[in-house]
Amino acid sequence: MRLVNFAVNPVLSHFISHSGVMYIDFEQSGIAATYSFPWSSQIRVNFMLNGSPLKILKEGSGQVVTLPACSVVGPQMGRNMVYYDRVCVMAIVCFHPGAFHRLTGIPVHEIINQDLDAGHVLGRGIWQVQRELQAATSPAQMKQVIEQFFLKRIAQADKKILPFDQAISRWVANKGLLSVSQVATDACLSNKQFERKCYERLGLTPKLFARLLRFSKAHAMVEQQTGQTWAAIAYECGYYDQMHFIRDFKAFAGTTPTIMDGQLEQSLKLIELLETDPELRSYHELTGEMYDGQVYKM
């Protein structure tokens, strides 16, 4: 698997947390073409550029669903099994918490657990982006295509950064450890007003959002096999103790860190690309190849 991270255009940096393209060859790697995706507050756009569209089995549904080639994936409040084609290329654009609502005006609670045709959400122009990405001959061209679309899109969006947005950014930077009351005060809102605003812009209650912030970083660190003990990872991710860390793993990933660690040699590793903590990228090795972004060996 080869991953190219695109440097985010400064004009887009208040909306897009990161983007990139993945080149995946399961036949060469010998690993399973599936990924067990845990709960996530992330909102992203997927562009399947080569290979069959993604298929997803949602927890409790018993039914495998085929995603559109260009899809908007809302926050997932359940575990999903994702099935990939054996050889595929996929570009991804991920948004800062709250930014998708500012970009589209869509209440995020309406897209919880949804995988939607991006053209029905972002307009038909996104289908043209899909075609141009498929025709691109380099990651640099892909980056330019993505930037051009979203630069036009944010020209029509709510670009004003509210105290709520600043408070959420500080909360993310503090691993969700600030109290809800403190973040609400930072947002210049009462606790009730803040909870309603979170439901609208994050799709989640404040407490669940904070738990997922901690868990997502912990899951990524386990997946990247940093060599740290579970206690050390729990501490770094803001858990009070190792038991709380394991409890969230069972709740959101359906497994324990120890069991997951034992399966990683035969598993695809994706959570680092799909979550927002840039520090986690330091756990990759440079392959020696360089594009417009950075290429990492996974």
Residue with the bigger pLDDT between 191 and 159: it is: 191
- pLDDT (tens digit per residue) in 31-54: 888 888 899 999 999 999 999 999
**Structure confidence at residue 289 as a pLDDT band (50, 70, 90):** very low
Q: Which fold has domain 163-263?
A: Arc Repressor Mutant, subunit A (1.10.10)
pLDDT bin (cut points 50, 70, 90) of residue 60 is confident
Under CATH, to which class is 2-160+279-297 assigned?
mainly beta
In 3D space, the residue among 220, 227, 225, 228 whose CA is nearest the CA of residue 272 turns out to be 220
More confident residue, 226 or 132: 132
**Average pLDDT for 117-145:** 96
In this predicted structure, the answer to whether residue 183 has a pLDDT above a threshold of 80 is: yes
pLDDT in tens, 155-179: 988 778 899 999 999 999 888 889 9
What pLDDT sits at residue 29?
A: 77
Pairwise CA distance, residues 43 & 95, whole Å: 6
Structure tokens at 36: 């067990």
276 within 8 A of 224, measured Cβ to Cβ: no
189-226: string of b/e by CB count within 10 Å (b at 16+)? beeeebbebbebbbbbebebbbbbbbbbbbbbbbbbee
Are 45 and 71 contacting, i.e. CB atoms less than 8 angstroms apart? Answer: yes
The answer to whether 221 and 237 have CB atoms below 8 angstroms apart is yes
Mean pLDDT of the 6-19 span: 93
Alpha-carbon span 248 to 216, nearest angstrom: 10
Domain boundaries, the chain: 2-160+279-297, 163-263
Q: In this predicted model, which residue has the larger pLDDT, 224 or 107?
A: 107
pLDDT at 281 > cutoff 70? no
